[in-house]
Amino acid sequence: MAKLRLIIADNDKAYVESVSNYIINNYSHRFQINSFTEEQYFLDYISKNNINIDILLICPQWYTDLIPKEKICISMILSEGIFNDEVIDCEVINKYQRGDKLVSNIINSFVEKNPNKYYIEHNSKRSKVIAVYSPIGGMGKTSIAIGSCLKSAQEGRSVFYLNLENIQSTPRFFDCESSQNLSNILYYIKEKKKNITLKIEGIRCKDSQYNIHYFTPPDSCIDLNETSINEIQYLINELKTTNDYDDIFIDTTSILDEKNKSVLMLSDQVILLVGQDDLSMTKLNLFVRELDILSKRNDLDLSNKITIVLNKYIKGKAQQIKELNLWGKSIDVKVPDVYEPIYIYENSFRKGMKREFKNAISEILTRIYENTI
């Protein structure tokens, strides 16, 4: 699609310069931007030029009848607080908020008004979908998935973290104070609206430390439970085909149901987590047996894209798991049992990884990247 034509019109010169520079530096692929700090220049430009404006951000004092509103798709008042409702016949947006949230709110408002009008032009990146799965509960899927996201981002790769668990711990690692979440995306898909990629841009959040994109948890786990296999597949395919990301890490549930099978099938690589206790071995044997049946039926074949990871490894502890042989593969990486492998700095969402854990994550990613060359 062509870039969205955005005009920022406000008499606060410092604000206009700051916001314009932020959008140019971070969203030049999405917006063609013009900014004005003199009202007459703005009126002359919009009145005399034969152009259509997708989005107008404007201070309330300048939003008058002199503006040719038929040229504007959506107008948004930059609000500093409470003002007279009588002068407002358009949307209102908080003027002072974090840059990425401001842009998300702008895009959301635009998409809600134009759900089927615009289409996204995909770029040239090839995204890899990497599922983190274990048939055994409590194996630390989320820690491995988040750790993989952090390490991948540290290496300069663009990353999306997609959590499909019913009960999510995303707020432990990322800021989830957002007005919209995964539920909004799922509803949008159910309604079969076409502008899904732009909607994703409007709803996704971005970690300020690592620039990882993610959705905040759904309103209720019911929203995920009621999402069909086709809808989950559609979401993953949309994330993948936009090619905005080098790596898309999916945090899955432990159930091997039809929905999870479809996620594993769509994934380019699967990180399979196992433990070294007897219960893990029992469940893993059942899982392997199920995979053999599914493979023979051509329902699910992981033989060429699986990396087996022994998580929470304790050196010297007896392990029956060493006898594991899955399609000729044995354990690829051992991740040591580390207390709080991902630590959060107090009163912030700044994160770090313990050295032993980080080294193991690096080894996992090396295996994955080698398998996808």
Q: Which domains does the chain have, with CATH numbers?
A: 4-113 (3.40.50.10850), 128-371 (3.40.50.300)
Query: Which residues, in sequence order, are CB contacts of 209 under 8 Å at separation 6+?
Result: 349, 350, 351
Pairing state of beta strands 128-133 and 269-274? parallel
Structure-block tokens of residue 16: 């206009």
Structure-block tokens of residue 284: 């893993």
Structure-block tokens of residue 24: 């140019």
Query: Which residues, in sequence order, are CB contacts of 176 under 8 Å at separation 6+?
Result: 170, 205, 216, 217
pLDDT at 85: 52
Strand-pair partners of 334? 310
pLDDT in tens, the chain (373 residues): 568 999 999 999 999 999 999 999 988 888 999 999 999 999 999 998 988 899 999 999 999 999 999 999 999 999 887 555 545 568 899 999 888 889 988 998 888 887 766 555 555 568 899 999 999 888 999 999 999 999 999 999 999 999 999 999 999 999 998 878 999 999 989 887 777 888 898 899 999 899 999 999 999 999 999 999 999 999 999 998 877 899 999 999 999 898 999 999 999 999 999 988 878 888 888 888 888 887 777 667 777 899 999 999 988 775 656 666 676 778 889 999 999 999 998 777 889 999 999 999 999 999 998 876 5
pLDDT at 84: 52
pLDDT at 86: 47
